Structure 1
Amino acid sequence: MKPSQTSGFVSRKKEEKERNFSFSNSSICQQEEKMSAGAVWYRLSLLVLMPDVLLWAARISCRNEAGEAVDWFVVYKLPRYTMNASAGSGLDYMYLDPSSRNWELSRHFINTSQSALGQTLDQLYRTYKDQENSTAGAYMIYNDAIPSSKNYSTRRGHTKGILLLDRSQGFWLIHSIPRFPPFPEQGYGYPASGRRNGQTAICVTYTYDQFPEIVTQLLYYNPNVYNCSIPHPFQQALPNLQKMCLGSSLPWITVKHLTKLKSAGGENFLHFAKSHFFVDDIYVAWMAQNLETDLLAESWQLQGQDLPSNCSLPRHVYNVKEIKIPFHSYFYSNYDHSKWCVSWRYEDQWTCIGDLNRATQQTWRSGGFICTQNQNIYKAFRGLVSYYKSCNVTN
């Protein structure tokens, strides 16, 4: 099934090494006679298990910079301008996955195919090229700012992300980067407009049975889909994914929806999704109260448009004003286009990453956040907070 386009929206060697064996038939027989029954069984078991190992390696999942499958990863693209440093490339990024305890500065730029985003999205490009295959996976790409366009969609959700899945598993990548990624036929790339400010992305691998719930969350997003392909086998199991792909009428939704998700590796997540009917600050009115924790919130804060720190409800939200990175530098929030928050109390250990800024004009926009109590994710993000503004004083 080829993706179709309407008004700028798309509905969406091995080389075999030769080895020369000089065993004669008699020597082979002699070796077989000496081989114990246990050794024979061991070799046979390897042959039986090998297809499963190869299948696991081939499954769609988030990928690290070596192209290896990971359960999840987080990327924090650093802004071009930081304090106490000359202008950078705007392409450096920090990386975190289950194998690391804290941020690692990547050796690769984010615009290269060797980056974690590049390695992960390579699976998307291979799926795109294999669309005629009946076993090809399904994908959907959405962004309120589509590539090669200067316009932003205010009619749809303020959301950005990619879904890619087969009938076994897939990933959901949530990010903050406008005009990213390029259309699949163009291959991997990173927009020049994404260099100036900081950006975040979180990728989580899910088994197939999690995707009906993910699709439900996306209904609340009302995402601006610009490229997708939903082969026939997925249309029956995930009909609303097909409707979003085609731009068809969607089922009626309520104001907001909270759900539990579990990664393929067993990591627990909470996902908050609000529709445009929820006209309020998602940080204060919902997330902080539901999680029962005060939050330190980092989002793009343009002067005159940002919401102040809020202590009007039992659980408070404080705006982060300055970010310190582990490599002896700092940057201000107005150079950061990312959207995340962490528990003020270290004991609560909540981290949420998502779509919406703390801004007046975004109280009526749809979008959401994925939240986790993973200890290493919390420590990594909590350690970035240099100072924040409480309701009465800066800390």
Structure 2
Amino acid sequence: MGCYSSKNILSCCYDIASINKNKTTLEYKVALKLPHGLQYLDFDGNTFVYKMDVTDWVIAAFKNKKFTNYINYNDEHDDKMSPVGGHCKGCFAWNDKEICWLIHSVPRFMVRFDKDGFVDEKRTHIYHSEEIYGQSFVFLSGIPIEQLSELLQQLAIMKPFIDKDSSTSSLPILSMEVAGSFQINSIAISLAHEPTVYHVAKSPKNHIDIFSDMIQTTFGGKWHCETWIRGHHCPNHFDTHSDVIDNKNITFGGITYSSSHDHSKYACNDADLVYIGDLNRMTSQYGRGGGGVIIKNPNLNKMIRAIMAL
């Protein structure tokens, strides 16, 4: 068993086979919504497949799962937005056996649940005004419930703006070590089998670029980043000699769009790793909390590199 680490990051590693008493199987799904509508690219394990409605993808991911607790978080709610704290967006849900976690980039989007703990298909939707730009989604299921406290700590580090309709808004009080000198954390969600999945989290108190100052320094390689390109860029953002480079365009078949029309947050390196999360590469994001997952998957990495034309 091994883990990525650096002097700047607390890295917690778990052998899933030893803690997974319910024998759940970690699975993940990835979708990239295209601009101007709900059409999306669905990663089927080998390649991207063009499909029609990413809302159906989200509902299918949660369908037939009954949850006892869930936390919806988004820096933009229907009636209010938070310009400070976490820039993170997602739905973290669990029962007595497993944890499921949707991480996405869509403002105001929430996964709604009925009184019995099942996804409410009628109330789970993306607002029409949010269809204009590209968006990214990653869904993890089968996370062992034994990792609940560690993953709730990841949420707490990011300082999310929690939706009032969540079943709970309680997050753990951070330890002095995490809340003090580090304020960034990396946790291995799966080490028992390949691909390996990690979650990384950054506090809004830690004013860094999560891509160059955390992801690249911890996981290595040369990274290309597809994020919202508005406002002040990070240094050397288009420098081909840099270890972290901003992407300019996405191309799939006859579809091409620029990063200025893509609200997604994902990246890939030259060593089979992919990041999908909720922070942009802009200086204004230094003071925001957020994170995402690092997935080691050669096929997914290959497809991300292909649509970036690398």
TM-score in terms of structure 1 length: 0.64
Contact kept, 8 Å, 1:310 with 1:316, in 2: the verdict is no
1:297, distance to aligned residue in structure 2 (A)? 0.9
**Does the C-alpha gap of structure 1 residues 194 and 329 become closer, same or farther in structure 2, counting only changes over 3 Å?**
same
Q: Which residue of 1 aligns with 2:81?
A: 152
1:267, distance to aligned residue in structure 2 (A)? 4.0
**1:321 & 1:267 partners in 2: Cα distance?**
28
**2:137 & 2:103 partners in 1: Cα distance?**
6
1:121, distance to aligned residue in structure 2 (A)? 3.6
1:168, distance to aligned residue in structure 2 (A)? 0.9
**1:286 & 1:381 partners in 2: Cα distance?**
20
Q: Which residue of 2 aligns with 1:30?
A: none
2:90 equivalent among 146, 155, 161: 161
Q: Which residue of 1 aligns with 2:54?
A: 110
DSSP 3-state at the match of 1:341: strand
Residues 191-240 of structure 1: CA deviation (Å, up to 9, x unaligned): 1122000000000111212222211111111111103225xxxxxxxxxx
Contact kept, 8 Å, 2:153 with 2:174, in 1: the verdict is no
Q: Which residue of 1 aligns with 2:140?
A: 204
DSSP 3-state at the match of 1:377: helix
Contact kept, 8 Å, 1:292 with 1:315, in 2: the verdict is no
Structure 2, unpaired ranges of 5+: 1-21, 115-121
Spell out the pairing of 1:109-148 with structure 2 (5 A cutoff).
109-111=53-55, 115-123=56-64, 127=66, 137-146=68-77, 148=78
Is 2:42 the counterpart of 1:95?
yes
| Structure 1 counterpart of 2:261, one-letter code | Y
**2:199 & 2:123 partners in 1: Cα distance?**
30
Residues 275-303 of structure 1: CA deviation (Å, up to 9, x unaligned): 1221111111121111121111110001x
Q: Which residue of 2 aligns with 1:278?
A: 206
Q: Which residue of 2 aligns with 1:379?
A: 302
**1:305 & 1:195 partners in 2: Cα distance?**
24
**2:145 & 2:185 partners in 1: Cα distance?**
20
Is 2:229 the counterpart of 1:336?
no
Deviates more, 1:250-259 or 1:188-197: 250-259
Q: Which residue of 2 aligns with 1:170?
A: 99
Q: Which residue of 1 aligns with 2:162?
A: 225
| Structure 2 counterpart of 1:222, one-letter code | K
**2:99 & 2:200 partners in 1: Cα distance?**
20
| Structure 2 counterpart of 1:382, one-letter code | R
1:328, distance to aligned residue in structure 2 (A)? 1.8
State which structure, 1 or 2, has the greater radius of gyration over its C-alpha atoms.
1
1:118, distance to aligned residue in structure 2 (A)? 1.6
| Structure 2 counterpart of 1:144, one-letter code | D
Spell out the pairing of 1:298-317 with structure 2 (5 A cutoff).
298-302=226-230, 304-310=231-237, 316-317=243-244
TM-score in terms of structure 2 length: 0.80
1:369, distance to aligned residue in structure 2 (A)? 2.2
Q: Which residue of 2 aligns with 1:320?
A: 247
Contact kept, 8 Å, 1:207 with 1:263, in 2: the verdict is no
Q: Which residue of 2 aligns with 1:262?
A: 190
Structure 1, unpaired ranges of 5+: 1-54, 62-69, 81-89, 128-135, 231-241, 388-395
DSSP 3-state at the match of 1:162: strand
**2:103 & 2:124 partners in 1: Cα distance?**
17
**Does the C-alpha gap of structure 1 residues 74 and 199 become closer, same or farther in structure 2, counting only changes over 3 Å?**
same
| Structure 2 counterpart of 1:261, one-letter code | I
**1:193 & 1:156 partners in 2: Cα distance?**
24
Question: How many equivalent residue pairs?
Answer: 275
1:73 equivalent among 26, 29, 38: 29
Contact kept, 8 Å, 2:194 with 2:296, in 1: the verdict is no
Residues 356-395 of structure 1: CA deviation (Å, up to 9, x unaligned): 00111111111112111111211121111137xxxxxxxx
DSSP 3-state at the match of 2:106: coil
| Structure 1 counterpart of 2:89, one-letter code | K
Contact kept, 8 Å, 2:198 with 2:295, in 1: the verdict is yes
Spell out the pairing of 1:222-261 with structure 2 (5 A cutoff).
222-226=159-163, 227-230=165-168, 243-244=170-171, 252=176, 253-254=179-180, 255-261=183-189
Residues 148-203 of structure 1: CA deviation (Å, up to 9, x unaligned): 23x42123200001111111113111000111126546622121122000000000
Contact kept, 8 Å, 1:160 with 1:355, in 2: the verdict is yes
Percent sequence identity is 25
What root-mean-square deviation, in Å, do the aligned CA atoms of Structure 1 and Structure 2 show? Answer: 2.7
Contact kept, 8 Å, 1:158 with 1:366, in 2: the verdict is yes
Q: Which residue of 2 aligns with 1:213?
A: 150
**Does the C-alpha gap of structure 1 residues 93 and 334 become closer, same or farther in structure 2, counting only changes over 3 Å?**
same
More helix by share: 1
**Does the C-alpha gap of structure 1 residues 72 and 182 become closer, same or farther in structure 2, counting only changes over 3 Å?**
closer
